[in-house]
Every structure is written in structure tokens, then in C-alpha cells.
Amino acid sequence: MINVLVLSQHSPFDDMHIRDALDMTLIFAAIEQNISWLFTGPAVLALKKGQHTDPLGLKNYFKSIKTLEIYDVENIYVCEKSLVDFNLAKSDLLINVNVLDFAAQSKLIATQHQVVNL
């Protein structure tokens, strides 16, 4: 089992970036690697509660984010500074996450075998 970190930095509907990252995270969980997913910058907005993009015709992938735990993806990390930048509190988020300062993010990266930025 290796440690794999998926990095997300794009805003929720910037192309399919977050959805590609979600797929990658779920696949590594499915093949039983130790997967982590780190949200930084505008990507933290993908964890925001109360979004309903179905009226726009856009796939509501927030539902899948909510089911990450069921698929044994427990290592969801969020950049503390980015939450502040977007005025979000932990209670504004869809799921329970680990909020990390920069030092903790660096440490997380250092313990990985592979890091993929999507």
C-alpha cells in the first residue's frame, strides 16, 4: 500500500478539474491505496454546503463528495488559509475535513509516494 495525494486547486466548475480529482481519489481508494485529497485555493469552494447546480443542468457532484466516507476515503484535507480567504468555516462544509496550516500541508506532502495535481 502506498500513500497517494490528490491535489485540487481549481474552482468547482472550472472545466472538470474537481470531478477528475474525485474520480482519481475514488479509484485509488478502490484499489486499496492510502489515498488523501487536499483542497487548496478556490478548490475549497467545492466543499461548500447548500449548492444545487442541477437547475443549471450541471451534474451535482457534491452528492458524490458527501459519499466519500462510504468509500473509505477518510483523509480529506483543507488548506486553513484558503478557508479564511473564502470566508468559510468548518461548519460551512459538506463533510468532515482536516484543516491544515502550511506546515502540516508540507508534512503531508513529504509523506507521500506520489502526488497528483489535477
Query: At 9, which amino acid appears?
Result: Q
Residue numbers at the binding site for other proteins (CB under 8 A): 2, 4, 7, 9, 11-17, 20, 23-24, 27-28, 30-31, 33, 40-42, 45, 48-53, 55-60, 79, 81-82, 85-87, 102, 105-106, 109-118
**Minimum distance from residue 80 beta carbon to other proteins (Å):** 11
Nearer to other proteins, 65 or 79 (CB): 79
- Under DSSP, the state recorded for 10 is S
> What string of DSSP letters covers 39-102?
E-GGGGGGGBSS---GGGT---THHHHHTTTTTT--EEEEEHHHHHHTT--GGGBSS--EEE-H
**Minimum distance from residue 56 beta carbon to other proteins (Å):** 5
**Minimum distance from residue 67 beta carbon to other proteins (Å):** 14
